[in-house]
Each structure stands twice: as C-alpha cells, then as structure tokens.
Amino acid sequence: MENKVLGLHHITAIADNAKRNHEFYTTVLGLRLVKKTVNFDDPSTYHFYYGNENGTPGTILTFFPWEGIGQGKNGAGMATDIGFAVPENSLDSWKERFNGNKIPYKEEMVFGEQQLSFADPDGLKLSLIIPRTKDERTPWQTAAIAPSMGIKGFHNATLTLRKAAPTAKVLTELLGYRQTVQEGNRYRFTNENIDTANHIDIIEDANAGYGRNAAGTNHHIAFRVKDDTIQMELREKIASAGLNITPQIDRDYFYSLYFREPGGVLFEIATDNPGFTRDEPLNELGTALKLPKQYEGARAKIESILPKL
C-alpha cells in the first residue's frame, strides 16, 4: 500500500479577497487554518491551508487569494466541485447553519450518497456529503461546530471534461484508480489503497465550454504519496507514458510534481513528508506568517503589503 498513490493530498483554489475567504472557511465551515504563508511565485499574495487539527493529507484545501482578481468561470478541463465528508445525520444541522448565514444550498443524491451543494463567497462549488462507507477521521472542533457535524476532510473531487476516456486512462493506469460506478455521463473512480479522500468523479460533456481560472475556481488537485522516493518512481512512470511532468519542487511542507492530464486539469503529486509541523508546533499551526526561506529577508515589506485579516 505504501508504494502507491493514496488518494487526494490537497486541492488548491483561487479566491478574490483574503479576509472574506479566511472568515468563511474558519468561521462558517469550521476548518482549521493550518498554515498561513505566501505564494511561492508571488509573495504579495497569501497562501492559506485549511484542514483538520494536524493538517492531515486528504483534508487540506488551500487558496491563493489574489485581491481583485475577479470572477472566474468553471468549464471543461477543470476540477469543478469539491466534496467534503461530514458525519451521519449532520445535514440538518448544516442546513440550519447555512440558513442562518444566508447561504443557498441544494439537496442532492449522487451515487446513492446524500449531499448539500453550495458555493463559497467567490462561487467555488462545494458539497457536504454523507459517505456510504463510514469515515473515521476526526474533524476540527470549534465553538460553533461540534464534532457531530464537523467536516472530516475530502470525499471526492469532480472534473468536467469533454472526453472522459483519456483522463480515465491516466487515473487507472498511472494513479491506481478503478472505475466503480456510472450514472449517465458521471463516472466515479476510486482509489482502493485508502478509505478516505479516494474518489475522483468525471462529468463528461462534449459541449461544455472551457473555463477561466480566477476567483471561485480550482487551480489544481494533488494526489498523495507517502514520500519523495515513491514520488520520483511515479514521476518516471508518468514521464514514460508521454506526459510532460515537472522536476521535483520543494514546497516546504511537501515535495511536488506537476503535470497536465489530457483533459486539461492540472494534477500534482505531493508527499506526506515533511508535514506542517516542521516550522510550527501542533498547537500553534496557522498562527504566524511563515515565509519560504528565499523571502525571509523581505519579511517587513511582505507583511506591509499583505491584507490584514
């Protein structure tokens, strides 16, 4: 098991306003701000990581909140929905919470699983899902959100594609997924090396227009491997399949590889090591601004530019 892809590691999206994004995910949804850092390529922009207490892979939703970037558009070649697992019998509590915060939602049944579909303030599409198989992960607890309704981590990510087959081949032949169910033009692929954060859904729509990456859209989805040794073995496999994949990049809290799958979605392979406690103790995660070492000398200037939370 340890030598294989272990489902999702993290998902990264784009926001327009840092303060609004921070308040929504920590206060309304009750996730923990696990790390507050900056974009490696644009240190004038935050990079937020939200998740459970430990920042466990499979729970981490991250954001680049580019101030004033404007509204993006979902479409073909993008990850168009993020599904979170929540406890059994918790959806009524979430409906009450959404009503109190004036958040529209829709009740749906997808692949036999109850879910509430809604959007964040930037229009990013999200779902709270009662998994068919019990999810034993412990959610982060806040004063307003008890463990009986807390978000446990990812359940699935949904890709919208004009053609499903080329992406399905990548999922099954390179990343260890297996197609497990289909309803109409929606396909589910499951990674059976792990019990959680292990589904990728594909919606095939030959007429879907292409999207535009800006606020309210996903930037990339990252798949999980145990360490960078396994990661580099997988890199060779992906490159041998004819896909253009980056060299290994040190992201401080994990090592990354990036490649664009045939349908246009940006995929990442990310490691469990070294983890989010490498520069902060567990009880202080997300409380201080952490900078990549190349920007530490410009800390005062960066802090003066970043929006106040």
Q: For residues 11 and 50, is the Cβ–Cβ distance under 8 A?
A: no
Q: What is the pLDDT of residue 2?
A: 56
Structure tokens at 31: 């996730």
Mean pLDDT of all residues belonging to the chain: 96
Q: Identify whether 3 is part of a domain.
A: no
Phi, psi of 261 (to 5 degrees): -75, 170
Q: Are strands 218-225 and 153-161 parallel, antiparallel or unpaired?
A: unpaired
Which CATH number characterizes residue 102's domain?
A: 3.10.180.10
Q: Identify whether 139 is part of a domain.
A: yes
The rounded average pLDDT for each run of 10 residues, N- to C-terminus, in the chain (309 residues) is 84 97 98 97 96 97 96 96 97 98 97 98 98 95 94 98 98 97 97 97 96 96 96 97 97 97 97 97 97 96 95
184 vs 164: CA distance, rounded Å = 12
Q: Name the domain count of the chain.
A: 1
Q: What is the pLDDT of residue 224?
A: 98
Q: What is the pLDDT of residue 108?
A: 96
Q: Identify whether 1 is part of a domain.
A: no
Q: Which residues, in sequence order, are CB contacts of 200 under 8 Å at separation 6+?
A: 156, 157, 158, 159, 171, 177, 188, 189, 191
Q: Identify whether 2 is part of a domain.
A: no
Q: For residues 66 and 45, is the Cβ–Cβ distance under 8 A?
A: yes
Q: Identify whether 156 is part of a domain.
A: yes
Residue span of the structural domain in which 295 resides? 8-305
Q: What is the pLDDT of residue 1?
A: 46
